[in-house]
Amino acid sequence: MNKAAGEVCSTVSDSHRTVYEHFPADVLESNGAKLHSIGRLDCDTEGLLLFTNDGKLSDFLTRPENKIEKTYFVRLKNLVTEIQQKEYAEQAELGVTLPPEKKFPEQKSNGAKIRWLSADECEITLTEGKFHEVKRIFRALKNEVIYLKRVKFAGLELEESLNPGQFRPLYESEVSRLKRKTKIDKKPDISKKCMRKESRTV
């Protein structure tokens, strides 16, 4: 799914639309297995969100020790000079001290890789999922994230043809790729309704 801003990764919400409202009932639950998101994105964050009904697959992809890469497109409030860009990248790769937020205390982040696209835009790749981690990394670097979109996860890339809120089934080749990455011998029990052969047919 290309998650839209303003939606939450929860089955129930009083104030926001949930990402599950986009799915028909027979996809949400198949043969007693319920569809769920693999990890979450913040309400105001857009981009790639994976869903499965396979708990083993989901557990593997969300464990920090498995170092599954997630890449985000970031737009910052303040322009960053070339010298600062190098400093940001070096500090992020070493890990920064994340400032406290809500119930989460000050924490040390693992290393993250920053690739600059312009003076105020970059891609950042990390392998863990602490609360508001990308936003807190840049806050620690004395800047502010004003737009955030996940573009890659576990080797899969967000399909540009998907508008916010749209989803598509995984291709068989993508399921195989996840299977190899997670070293799960048994093919993930992703519903046939959420799979299709390598085809561009909508």
* Residue numbers annotated as active site: 42
CA neighbours closer than 13 Å in the CB half-sphere of residue 50: 27
Distance set, CA 126 to CA 36, 150, 193 (Å): 22, 11, 31
**In angstroms, rounded to a whole number, what is the distance separating the alpha carbons of residues 93 and 86?**
11
What SS3 class is residue 126? strand
Element (H, E) at 176: helix 172-182
Contacts of residue 104, Cβ cutoff 8 Å, sequence gap at least 6: 130, 131, 132
**In angstroms, rounded to a whole number, what is the distance separating the alpha carbons of residues 102 and 45?**
18
